[in-house]
Amino acid sequence: MTTENEKKLWEPAQSLLGKDGRLSVIMPAYGLETVIAKNLATVSRLLDGHIPFEILPVDDGSHDRTAEEIRRVAEEDPAHIRPVFVKVNAGKGNALKRGFEASSGTHILLLDGDLDLSPERIPTFFDVMEREKAAIVIGSKRHPDSKIDYPWHRRLSSAVYYTLVRILVGLPVSDTQVGMKLFTREALKWSFDRMLVKAFAFDLEVLSIAHAQGYRVAEAPIEMHFGKKVGCLSWTNVRQTMNDTFAIFYRLRILRYYASVETAPPPEKPFLVSVVIACPAPSPYLTEALNALAAQTYPHFEVIVLPDAPAELPSYPFTLRIIPTGKVRPAEKRNLGIAQAKGEIVAFLDDDAYPVPNWLKQAVKYFTLPDVGGVGGPGVTPPGDPFPAQAGGRVYENILVSGNYRYRYAGDRVRASVDDFPSCNLFVRTDLLRAIKGYRTDFWPGEDTLLCKDILDNWKRIVYDPWVVVYHHRRPLFLPHLRQLGRYAFHRGYFCKRFPSNSLKLSYFVPSAFVLYLVAWVALALVPQPEAMPIWLFLAWKGFLAVPTLAYFSLVLAFTFSLNPLAWLLTASGVFATHVWYGVRFAQGLCAKKAPCEYIGKDHAHGQ
């Protein structure tokens, strides 16, 4: 029975929610099979009878029975618990955004699923929101009324991070990392539409975006029972958090990115999307891709699979068409898919890539902007890839290899317009594809570069969004990786002179210049000591010649550093080999009179 004190305690929440409001509690959970059911029941009992609410537990790709426990509790309390499942762990920020997309409340509470923060403080958060006229209320360990059980080393790291945040960002709060935050839907939507960080520093980014827009942020006391948890204070997480924090500062204070970033409204009428997958034959990778499409949060799509020969595939909860093509190149297969597409948008997906659940939903909204012809997103290395393939992915993601083009492989780059994007993750308007007659079929690889050129030549933009993510399996180091890279490099060198508009760029020439330097350095290093030259001068000259080489290898070792010695060695070696082989093949393409059109071969699909 509700007492008078309880009624009074919940009055601010009832006042703010009004007659039509609702609280959505988003609870991210990872590896919480032993406690998640109890914690969900605790929050549900606390809110029941006081305010309208829904609870959205988000299983963030757990490897234990967390998802099964969430499903069980949802079946017991379907009126209040609406689960969200993320297939691959991509960070807490990503999980919370997924939960927000599935929510319907006018107010959103972000609450860690382990409940080390007592939910009994929820009425206090509403009280602070009403009293301070705030759009955001965050829990703070440093609030004078907070009751915390927190180890000294965590307190120290929190104080250091707080000082850094005040210096770099200037947020008027004493703590950003507590996993209990109350938002109005408007404020959280504004931030989530612009955020990039998917992991630990997402709290700082969300608050920085909202505060810069003028949303008032207030602090509330918490009760924290940290207990004997190990926590997430590892070297990898600390390094990632620091990188993200400085990136937020750069985007906020230097680029002014968050204030100017382009957002697109959802379409008034849903677009139909035709997902086109070119492949030689059914394979485990293709099955993985189709299963990921079955988990899409956007339901308005069909899938066209284009194998060499007739094939049978299982049934899926979407329209699936299988169109045999014979042994032709990927560009020709995709052109057949374009001709058969019923959708207003064609989404190209490689058969060795699989999308995140909100892939379609995140991409289609940009086509409400009339000048957008294409949309692309990163192809991230799957966490389950074998070690040599992971090393290949780390090479591609390395800034010394991809430079300004890291956005193709890492999902933390800023949203922007681009002039070239690979077909493993590319959306294009169907009418535009038919107007430019699809892909050119006289080049492979490189046909996607020419398609992007044709899109731009038709006065349309290609938008890159870091949330339009697919996981793209990598070739392992070294030979498969270098074989694929060599073909790309040759065609890029050839395109620099043949199709310069989106290929003639200084950065593509750098590896070839590096190879020329290495050849010159070796030649000079082998020159014997002249009889007339003193030994000290000869050694000084040799040392001077070695300085650039030593500087290069120092940079490679610094930018590939890993606590795993084997990963460090393999990645560093891969970066060097990539520079040399790309430089050689690019120069060959630059000098070639004609680009050879290699047949499909082994690298068309992992299964061959």
Q: Are residues 280 and 256 in the same domain?
A: no
Q: Is the pLDDT of residue 537 over 50?
A: yes
Mean pLDDT for 321-328 is: 94
Q: Are residues 203 and 351 in the same domain?
A: no
Residue type, 202: F
Q: Are residues 357 and 278 in the same domain?
A: yes
d(CA 332, CA 342): 18
Q: Is the pLDDT of residue 604 over 60?
A: no
Predicted pLDDT of residue 188: 95
Predicted pLDDT of residue 598: 47
Residue 386 lies in a domain: no
Tell me the Ramachandran region of residue 437: left when phi exceeds 0, alpha when psi lies from -120 to 50, beta otherwise: left
Assigned token pair, 565? 């010695």
Burial annotation 372-407 (CB, 10 A radius, 16+ → b, else e): bbbbbbbbbbbeebeebbbbbbbbbbbebbbeebbb
Q: Are residues 211 and 156 in the same domain?
A: yes
Residue 256 lies in a domain: yes
The total of structural domains in the chain comes to 3
Q: Are residues 348 and 421 in the same domain?
A: yes
pLDDT tier at 154 (50, 70, 90 boundaries)? low
CB neighbour list of residue 170: distance below 8 Å, 6 or more residues apart: none
CB neighbour list of residue 422: distance below 8 Å, 6 or more residues apart: 376, 379, 408, 448
Predicted pLDDT of residue 86: 85
CATH of the domain at 421: 3.90.550.10
Q: Are residues 438 and 512 in the same domain?
A: no
Assigned token pair, 507? 């950065």
Residue 407 lies in a domain: no
Q: Are residues 373 and 511 in the same domain?
A: no
Beta-sheet strands, E only, within 30-104? 53-60, 84-86
Q: Is the pLDDT of residue 174 over 70?
A: yes
Residue 351 lies in a domain: yes
Q: Are residues 105 and 183 in the same domain?
A: yes
Q: Are residues 54 and 30 in the same domain?
A: yes
Q: Which domain holds residue 579?
A: 493-604
Residue 385 lies in a domain: no
Q: Are residues 202 and 294 in the same domain?
A: no
Pairing of strands 301-306, 273-278: parallel
Residue 347 lies in a domain: yes
Q: Are residues 287 and 235 in the same domain?
A: no
Of 425, 441, 474, the last residue of a domain is: 474
Assigned token pair, 317? 């909860």
How does DSSP assign 409-452, residue by residue?
A: T-TTSPPEEES---TTEEEEEHHHHHHTTS--SS-SS-HHHHHH
Using a 10 angstrom Cβ sphere, with 0-12 exposed, 13-18 middle and 19 or more buried, the burial of residue 295 is: middle
DSSP type of residue 529:
P
Stronger pLDDT, 251 or 235, i.e. the higher one: 251
Predicted pLDDT of residue 83: 93
Predicted pLDDT of residue 377: 94
The residues facing 183 across adjacent strands are 108, 136
For 355-395, the pLDDT digits (tens) are 998 899 999 999 999 999 999 999 999 988 999 999 999 99
How distant, in Å, are the alpha carbons of 55, 128, 210, 220 from that of 6?
A: 21, 17, 32, 19
Q: Is the pLDDT of residue 603 over 90?
A: no
CB neighbour list of residue 547: distance below 8 Å, 6 or more residues apart: none
What average pLDDT does the structure give for the chain? Answer: 88
Q: Are residues 451 and 522 in the same domain?
A: no
d(CA 438, CA 430): 9
Stronger pLDDT, 481 or 248, i.e. the higher one: 481
Mean pLDDT for 152-168 is: 73
Residue 326 lies in a domain: yes
Residue 404 lies in a domain: no
Assigned token pair, 221? 């006391």
